[in-house]
Amino acid sequence: MDVKKPASQENLNGDESESQISHLALDIGGSLIKVVYFLRSNGSGGSVDDSGKKSDPVLEGRLHFAKFETSKINDCLEFIRSKNLHLAGGGAYKFADLIKEKLGVVLDKEDEMDCLVTGANFLLKAVHQEAFTYVDGQKEFVQIDQNDLYPYLLVNIGSGVSMIKVDGDGKFERISGTSVGGGTFWGLGRLLTNCKSFDELLELSHQGNNRVIDMLVGDIYGGSEYSKIGLTSTNIASSFGKAISDNKELKDYKPEDVARSLLRMISNNIGQISYLNALRFGLKRIFFAGFFIRGHAYTMDTISVAVSFWSKGDAKAMFLRHEGFLGALGAFVSYENHGLGGLKTHQSVQQFAVSKTYAGKKICCLVNEDLNDNESIDFGVAFAA
C-alpha cells in the first residue's frame, strides 16, 4: 500500500474524536487516488465578534491529503471508512459503483479539467509559497501577483500529460497533451529495471548515470560540440541511443543507469512540448504539477533545463508544492454545497500565518513549513458555514 500517512494525520490522531469531518473529495486517476478531506476543529461553527454581535458562522479546521495506488482502491475505501470520511462529500468519476456498494454513498461527480484548473487557481491565489522555480539545485519561491496571474500554462503530469491554457477562474482550454507521461516512466521503468515500487525507481534514477546509455552529441562528434546549431558535447543527441551500438543486453546495463535515462528522456520531452505549446499561445509562465514530479530534484532540474534550453532562457519552469492534489483540491473547493463563495476570514483564525483573497473572499492558510515532504502538506481554512 502506498499510503504516505500525512503528518496532519499524525497530529490528529490524538484529537480526532474532537474534530468533525466536514467535506471529502476524491480524484481517482490512472495511477493514484488522491484524497482531500477537511476536519473541523473543536468548537468551530459559530462566533461572536468584538462588539458581542453574532457574526457569520465559520468552519475552522484543517485540510488533509492522502494518496493510494488506484489498483489498491480497497485500501483507500478502508481508510475512508475507518475515518468516517464517507459521511462527507465527493467528486470523482471512476469506481462510483464500487464506492456505493462498499461505503453506501453516492459521489457527486466533477469534471477533471475543471477541477485541475480550480485547484491550481486556488493554490496559486490562496496558498503562501506554493509555486517555486528549481534552478541549479536551488528552490526559489515565486511571489504570485494575483492581478497578474493569467494567462498561464498548466502542465499536469499524471499517468498521461495534459497541457491547459488558463485565462481565469473557470476560463481555460486544454491545448495539448501527451501520452508519454508518468505512467510511461513507471510502466517502462518497471519492465526494464524490475523495480517493485515507484519510489524505488525514483531512488534508482537518483544514483544512475544516463551517459552510459544515452548517445551524446560528443559521442557523434568525436567529443566536440556542435555549436553552430547550439548543441554542446554533453547534450543528448539520442536518448537510449548507445544501446544500439554497444552490443549489450538489458542485463549488461545497471538498472540505475536505465532509470536515469528514462527519467531524463520523459522529463525532457515534457519540458520541450510544454514550452512549444507556451510559445504557440505566447504564454510566459508554465506551472508543472502532477505526481510524476514528486518534488524529485532530478526531474525538476531536467524539466527546468529543457524549458530554459528551448526558450533560450526566456521562460522558466515553475512547480507547485501540492503538485499531485490539484484535481482533488479543485473538486473539494468547487463542491457546490460549500463553494468558495462562502469563504471568509474571521478573527478567531488570526493565528493563521497567511491571509489571501480567493474568489473575492478571504481565506486564511496555515502552511506547514516542512517543505521536504509533499505528503504532509496541510493548512487551516476558515469557511463560512
Ligand X SMILES: CC(C)(CO)[C@@H](O)C(=O)NCCC(=O)O
What are the residues binding ligand X (CB under 6 A)? 29-30, 112, 158-162, 177-179
Q: What residues numbered 313-342 form the site for ligand ATP, per CB under 6 A?
A: 324
Q: In a 3-state reduction of DSSP, which class is residue 237?
A: strand
Residue closer to ligand X, measured from CB, 273 or 377: 273
**Which region holds residue 375: left if phi is over 0, alpha if psi is between -120 and 50, else beta?**
alpha
Q: Which stretch binds ligand ATP (CB under 6 A): 27-35, 167-175, 250-258, 335-343?
A: 27-35
Residues 56-75 as x/- pattern, contact with ligand ATP by CB under 6 A: -------------x------
In angstroms, give the least distance from the CB of 285 to ligand X.
20
Is-contact 29 347, C-beta < 8 A? no
Q: Is 198 in the site for ligand ATP (CB under 6 A)?
A: yes
Q: Determine the distance from the C-alpha atom of residue 334 to the mean position of all C-alpha atoms in its chain, rounded to a whole number.
A: 18
In angstroms, give the least distance from the CB of 196 to ligand ATP.
11
How many residues are present in the chain? 385
Select the residue interacting with ligand ATP from 159, 205, 261, 269 (CB under 6 A). Answer: 159
Select the residue interacting with ligand ATP from 158, 271, 295, 380 (CB under 6 A). Answer: 158
In angstroms, give the least distance from the CB of 326 to ligand ATP.
8
Q: Could you tell me which of 11, 27, 3 has the C-alpha nearest to residue 75?
A: 3
In angstroms, give the least distance from the CB of 139 to ligand X.
27
Strands (E), the chain: 20-28, 32-40, 47-48, 54-55, 58-69, 131-135, 138-141, 152-157, 161-168, 171-178, 215-216, 236-238, 285-289, 316-320, 354-358, 361-365, 379-384
Residue closer to ligand X, measured from CB, 162 or 261: 162
Residue closer to ligand X, measured from CB, 9 or 277: 277
In angstroms, give the least distance from the CB of 179 to ligand X.
4
The span from the CA of 154 to the CA of 173, in Å, is 10
- Separation in Å, CA 262 to CA 183, 241, 245, 304: 12, 12, 18, 17
Burial string for 211-250 (b: 16+ CB within 10 Å, else e) reads bbbbbbbbbeeeeeeeeeeebebeebbebbbbbeeeeeee
Q: Which stretch binds ligand ATP (CB under 6 A): 43-51, 210-218, 284-292, 367-375?
A: 284-292
Q: Which does 380 bind (CB under 5 to 8 A by kind): ligand ATP, ligand X, none?
A: none
Residue closer to ligand X, measured from CB, 162 or 311: 162
Q: Is 191 in the site for ligand ATP (CB under 6 A)?
A: no
Contact set with ligand ATP (CB under 6 A): 2, 29-32, 69, 158-160, 182-183, 185-186, 198, 290-292, 294, 324
